[in-house]
Homo-oligomer: A and B are copies of this chain.
Amino acid sequence: MATSIFIVDDHYMVIEGIRSLLQNEKGIEWTGHAMNAASCLAFLKKQQPDVILMDINLPDKNGIDLCKEVKEKYPSVFIIGLSTFNQQSFIRKMMENGASGYVLKNATQEELKEAIDAVIKGKVFLSEDVSQTLRKEETPNIVLTRREKEVLELIADGMTNIEIAQKLFISVTTVDTHRKNLLAKLEARNTASLVRIATQLHLI
């Protein structure tokens, strides 16, 4: 029985590329595509493919959240993350949210086929580059609290501690404490590197 495939990606060229790569593969059946999260969910209500290839960057919702939602509603569907970025934090979050694999957009036809074959058997598939990144970048998964994220956002917006304190109805010293903890958690030396690192980790 053929494996049915569905694609979610907002780039027409990528959809077309994947379709072209897979169209001559035996045992793979193309069931359609969506260019945003909403139409993906709409499709799934009617029909569930075996595998979804899911881009991380979507116009209406990020792939990480969509992945979680899809897996909650349709646990039997296997999801393969798809993006241009070989970024540890993204990949980890995708896998945490139930994805079975992750490939980069520069993947070859063979790699893509291999990924689909693997996940359909219940295995986990990561591109060579991806698993290497996961091994190499031993970033111990930085977790910020709700409040810390809030403060971080406002810092990046250029607000001073005093302004942040007023905005959040807390003391300036509390803001300072959060700031201190942010610097420690992200191993930043000062505000500049804090914002830089936070940006690189896609925390803001």
Known: A35-B106, A157-B193, A192-B192. 12 other contacts (CB 8 A): A11-B14, A13-B105, A13-B107, A16-B16, A20-B20, A158-B190, A158-B192, A159-B192, A191-B191, A191-B192, A192-B195, A199-B199
* CB proximity of A29 to chain B, nearest CB, Å: 18
The number of times this chain is found in the oligomer is 2
Residues of B within 8 A of A84 (CB): 11, 57, 84
Residues of B within 8 A of A160 (CB): 190
Residues of B within 8 A of A20 (CB): 16-17, 19-20
**A:136-177 near B, CB below 8 Å:** 155-160
B156 touches A192 (CB 8 A): yes
Chain A 6-29: CB-based contact to B (< 8 A → 1; otherwise 0) = 000011111111111100000000
Given contacts A158-B196, A195-B195, A199-B199, contact A107 B189 (CB under 8 A): no
Which of B13, B158, B190, B193 makes the CB contact (< 8 A) with A21? B13
Q: Is A133 interfacial (CB-CB < 8 Å)?
A: no
Q: Is A108 interfacial (CB-CB < 8 Å)?
A: yes
A104 to B35, CA, bound (A): 14
* CB proximity of A53 to chain B, nearest CB, Å: 10
Given contacts A16-B21, A19-B20, A195-B195, contact A11 B189 (CB under 8 A): no
B158 touches A188 (CB 8 A): yes
B195 touches A12 (CB 8 A): no
Query: Which are the 9 A-B pairs with shortest beta-carbon distances?
Result: A158-B193, A17-B17, A13-B17, A20-B20, A16-B17, A158-B189, A195-B195, A11-B105, A156-B196
**A:74-122 near B, CB below 8 Å:** 84, 104-109
B14 touches A155 (CB 8 A): no
**A:183-204 near B, CB below 8 Å:** 188-196, 199, 204
* CB proximity of A30 to chain B, nearest CB, Å: 13
- Closest residue to A104 on the B side, CB-wise? B11
